[in-house]
Structure 1
Amino acid sequence: MLSELYIENLAVIEKASIEFTSSFNAFTGETGAGKSILINGINAILGQRVTKDIVRTGADKAIISGLFTDIGKDIAEHLAEMGIDCEEGQLFLTREIRSDGGSVARINQRAVNISLLRDIGGMLVNIHGQHDNQILMAPEKHINILDSYAEADGLIEDYRQSFHELQNVAKQINRLNKEQGRKEFRIAELEEIISEINALDITDPDEEKLIASELEISKNSVAISEAVYAADMMLSGDDENKGISELVSECSDRLDDFTDIMAELTPLYERLNSAAIELDDISRELSGILDSLDVDPKRFDWLNQRSDDLRKICKKYGPELSDVMETLRKSEEELAELTGSEQSIQALADEKNRLLTEVSHKAKVLSEFRREAAKRFVKQVTDELEFLNMPNVRLIVSQETGKLTLNGMDSVEFLISANVGEDPRPIAKIASGGELSRIMLALKNVIAEKDSIDTLIFDEIDTGVSGRAAQKIGLKLRQISRHRQVLCVTHLAQIAVMADNHLLIEKNIVGDRTSTSVRKLDHEGRKYEIARIMGGDNITELMLENADELLNSVK
């Protein structure tokens, strides 16, 4: 529960420290005293959106802190996963809003992001504001109220998982069907690409370089032949002249005769001998090259044609031959996919039919679950409304089945008949402001029994209500507070007298500044505040007696 709230520099509230009881806490005060600011402060520590305009004029920042005690096990476990401990079941939430628009959130003094604060806040407090009544005016929201009461989360999540799978398959089929129109053209285009590249039978990405090298040699074969022949003749000689190779051998032989006499000649002899052998090898290789340089005209023509073909294909699908080969691979893959798309569409169609059957079955199960829950829901809400001075109200949950949607196959709307003899009609068409407030209170109470949120806040639940109906709302809030903490902002004495803890919100002018304070009222203070609510500022002794009687009657 929320045990204590500290506010500093929030709008007209300079400083306020408020302690709450675990039961029924009521806030009263003049219109404009700052009751809405108090609710905004609580919203801030619960992670709701706030703006820099809420910072008190002249202050650098606003600070709002809330101490929560007796934290539930599920909240403690959720925080433990984030590395935040709750010592002795206590939780300290802080929000700082700077005048420049920045904001800092903390849980137990540890800085956290706003989304985590909002998650934890949603588990700690449930706030009902005046805008919540508008939910009743929007029929599309009614299904969420029924599902919340029915605790249908598990069924809905399972249904939605299958529903999303069905949607994804349907999207794939639509995509393939749309592509069907251009498929034939693309297949012909791919077949042409594949045929054109395959016709060249390219197996080596370096072939273009190899062809270019061979062509260069062929073009210069005459000059190369002459150079090779001349070099060979110099090495091997002819009939008239000795070659270098033979001369080197003779040098070696001359030295060989004296190597045993002069040791220094031995290494020179060996070097000349090796050189002679190497020169002989070079001469033989030159002869072999010379034989190979006989250019085949057909080969030369083929090399030119091949080079031209490779250059054209690279220009079209390159720039490199490796890029051409990659284009071929991708084209073959795409062609296989397109030619197999008919089988893919059929397989997807079969999967769609299977999922449609599955989703329809789950939707029917969910629909029946809602129908059974609606019976209990109507009974409980009707009992609550009867207690809240609406004994003749008749509530009907209109549940119609139609096409499959994210919420199943149902459309749900709450219809009411507020008077005997009238047919049930949409709430938006017949409910007054006071009736909306009581219907929403009844719904909140019935749904609250299903969750584990310890603190309920009602911001002006008494809108449009007076007399006995207001007294019944007060009694209902007091009844709820015996199991959960209740905080209520009210303008009605019938509700305020029911509180266990009565807090007065006052606006005062201190110096040249307006300041709002919050103080706890004792019995005497409550007497004057109840009298003021009932009769205005001109409080008489009779008003005070009536207020005292009201307070004592509650006791």
Structure 2
Amino acid sequence: MLLELQIQDFAIIDRLHLRFEQGFNVLTGETGAGKSIIIDALGTLRGERVDPTFVRAGCARARVEGIFSLDDCPHLLPLLAENDLLAEGDDQLILAREISAESGRSVARVNGRAVNSAILREIGSRLIDIHGQHEGQSLFNPRTHLELLDRFGELLPLRQQVADQLAALRAVQARLADLRTGEARRQARIEELELLRADVAAAKLKLGEEEELLRERSVMQNATRIAALADEAYRALYAGAEGRSGRSASEAMATAVNALSELARLDERAGLLAQQATELQYQLEDLVIGLRRYRTDLDVDPRRLDAIEDRLTVLRDLQRKYGMDVATLIERAARAEAEIEQLSNSAAQIAALEAQEQTLLAELARRAQALSHQRRQVGEELSRQISAAMHDLAMPNVRFAVQIEQVDDPGGPLINGRRLACDRTGIDRVEFLIAPNLGEPLKPLARIASGGESARLLLALKSILSQVDEVPTLVFDEIDVGVGGRAGHVVGQKLWMISQRHQVLCITHLPQVAAFANTHYHIRKEVAAGRTRTSVELLSLDQRIDEIAAMLDGAPNDHSRANARQILERAQTWKQHRQAELAAKH
């Protein structure tokens, strides 16, 4: 709900800070005092369009800021989280908007972070709903009627079943569409896969083969140098054993071992040195043996190098042809068999999926028809309740109806001999209709001409649908215009009932409506230092009596004050009685 509203340099408001309460808040004052300006300021927080005329004369910019509690709007939290606008643990939300006098452009912020107008509208419209005689509010938008009807009738779980069934059907239809692509495309794909598989099989590709060939080629290309180095190393280690002059490393090592062994017998401290020398001699002998074997294996065949080059050419031609490495080629060839099988058997798969499609369509038809049937029953109950509410509001001849229609679609589910269009909400197109006067035909709600009729119908709808409306703060701007005192008492009752589930802000000229408020504010226009400004005052009980007396008789006097007290007492008695009834129900 709206906790605080701060307005600065907006129209004739210089600075205004309002704290609103839970329940029914009413604002009264003379015509022109600035009540509609407060509504306009709230509209800016809903993302409505602004222009330079909103800025107070002589000021550079106007600013409006609203602080909202998030306790009563959990439906808003996912949207805030999605846009990273809410820190963990936050239980309040601050919407702010600044309007430039020079350009008329505005900057919107949510919790101090700048956002575009689309995000502000989406957030603001979920926090505040403003209703007036000629407002294009959500109740008069046909796109909201189905949602309101389903929420009123608690049909959302059944609607979700339809949505789930439709999703399953769409998945099968997407697979069918893939399989129903042209036969030529399917055949071309089969040929492409078979060629890949044949090329990979003919080449006898092996994982790691290319790397091994490159290593072997490198060795053969450097064979002369490799042989010379190996021979040189061997001679250095073991040349003496082959009768060459000089001593080999092996001979030198043997001499050192003999000397150290003799030394260890003479001095035990040399034992470790003798042991290390013996181990080195063994390692040297192993090295000599390994080097001899390596020299023997260096028998290079020039024809082998040609074979390696030919094999590498085969591998690289395949990689260029298919644009993938050897490992990927082997993997794709292994998977090609399964894909060829699937493509070759597409006719059987299409037949199976078509049968599955018909089964899903039949189940979708059953669920959508059940939902539609429930909607018609709920629509009749909603019509009955709204007609009764309009009778209370001194409009006994009003007829209200919920129109439910369907649209044909050759690909939709078959219901009662018709194939009908179906989306996630079902097969129904819902719109509220009304006939304000006796003998007139029902017409779409959005085309109502009379402001008074619109206001009272709006109130009747809100009084019934408020239990399913998620918007926490509802603003009613003079919706009692054209309503007499007797009906005004009923308007006050219905607004108070709405305030049991929502925070209600109401601008009214009817004392009978004002008497039902939990909190009463008085708006006045005053002149200070040669400038006109609007101020708002929270009224005490005595001040409320004077204000209602003034609304009754133009100025407070003993007679009007007595009438005001009676109106307030009657409203208080009715509220206490209703509160007791509501408590007993729960």
TM-score norm. by structure 1 comes to: 0.69
1:513 & 1:173 partners in 2: Cα distance? 73
Task: Identify if the C-alpha distance between structure 1 residues 199 and 9 changes in structure 2 by more than 3 Å, giving closer, same or farther.
Answer: same
**Percent identity of equivalent pairs:** 26
* Alignment match of 1:145 (pick from 134, 143, 148): 148
Encode CA deviations 1:13-40: one digit per residue, 9 max, x unaligned.
2334557785562434324x43233224
2:283 & 2:24 partners in 1: Cα distance? 114
Conserved 8 A contact 2:131-2:137? no
1:136 & 1:67 partners in 2: Cα distance? 23
Q: 2:173 is matched by which residue type in structure 1?
A: A
1:192 correspondence with 2:198: no
SS at structure 1 position matched to 2:427: strand
Conserved 8 A contact 2:404-2:428? yes
1:357 correspondence with 2:374: no
2:298 & 2:4 partners in 1: Cα distance? 102
RMSD (CA atoms): 5.6
Q: What is residue 579 of structure 2 aligned with on the other side?
A: none
Task: Identify if the C-alpha distance between structure 1 residues 447 and 277 changes in structure 2 by more than 3 Å, giving closer, same or farther.
Answer: closer
TM-score norm. by structure 2 comes to: 0.66
1:476 correspondence with 2:494: no
Q: What is residue 332 of structure 2 aligned with on the other side?
A: 330
Deviation, structure 1 residue 391: 1.7
Conserved 8 A contact 2:489-2:512? no
Encode CA deviations 1:211-230: one digit per residue, 9 max, x unaligned.
45555666787998899999
Q: What is residue 394 of structure 2 aligned with on the other side?
A: 389
1:214-293 mapped onto 2 (5 Å cutoff): 214=216, 242-243=243-244, 289=295, 293=299
Q: What is residue 30 of structure 2 aligned with on the other side?
A: 29
* Alignment match of 2:375 (pick from 362, 370, 375): 370
Encode CA deviations 1:468-521: one digit per residue, 9 max, x unaligned.
x4445522221124435443224xx5x344312664433344335431112456
Q: What is residue 88 of structure 1 aligned with on the other side?
A: none
1:406 correspondence with 2:424: yes
SS at structure 2 position matched to 1:461: coil
Q: What is residue 505 of structure 1 aligned with on the other side?
A: 523
Q: What is residue 89 of structure 2 aligned with on the other side?
A: 83
1:39 correspondence with 2:39: yes
Deviation, structure 1 residue 315: 4.3
Aligned length: 511
Deviation, structure 1 residue 203: 1.6
1:277 & 1:522 partners in 2: Cα distance? 110
1:445 & 1:59 partners in 2: Cα distance? 42
2:47 & 2:547 partners in 1: Cα distance? 34
1:277 & 1:58 partners in 2: Cα distance? 95
Conserved 8 A contact 2:466-2:498? no
Q: 1:436 is matched by which residue type in structure 2?
A: S
Q: 1:369 is matched by which residue type in structure 2?
A: Q
Deviation, structure 1 residue 380: 0.8
Task: Identify if the C-alpha distance between structure 1 residues 331 and 39 changes in structure 2 by more than 3 Å, giving closer, same or farther.
Answer: farther
Task: Identify if the C-alpha distance between structure 1 residues 126 and 236 changes in structure 2 by more than 3 Å, giving closer, same or farther.
Answer: closer
Deviation, structure 1 residue 430: 6.0
SS at structure 2 position matched to 1:404: coil
1:518 correspondence with 2:518: no
Deviation, structure 1 residue 451: 5.9
Q: What is residue 131 of structure 2 aligned with on the other side?
A: 128
Conserved 8 A contact 2:477-2:506? yes
Encode CA deviations 1:142-196: one digit per residue, 9 max, x unaligned.
3233223223233223332333343344334334434765232233223222322
Conserved 8 A contact 2:200-2:333? no
1:15 correspondence with 2:15: yes
2:316 & 2:472 partners in 1: Cα distance? 79
1:418 & 1:276 partners in 2: Cα distance? 114
Q: What is residue 582 of structure 2 aligned with on the other side?
A: none
1:328 & 1:83 partners in 2: Cα distance? 54
1:181 & 1:49 partners in 2: Cα distance? 55
Q: 1:499 is matched by which residue type in structure 2?
A: A
Task: Identify if the C-alpha distance between structure 1 residues 10 and 352 changes in structure 2 by more than 3 Å, giving closer, same or farther.
Answer: farther
Task: Identify if the C-alpha distance between structure 1 residues 229 and 381 changes in structure 2 by more than 3 Å, giving closer, same or farther.
Answer: closer
Q: 1:498 is matched by which residue type in structure 2?
A: V
Task: Identify if the C-alpha distance between structure 1 residues 17 and 282 changes in structure 2 by more than 3 Å, giving closer, same or farther.
Answer: closer
1:48 & 1:387 partners in 2: Cα distance? 35
Q: 1:198 is matched by which residue type in structure 2?
A: A
Encode CA deviations 1:308-359: one digit per residue, 9 max, x unaligned.
323433444578xxx2221331354366346425366566545544433333
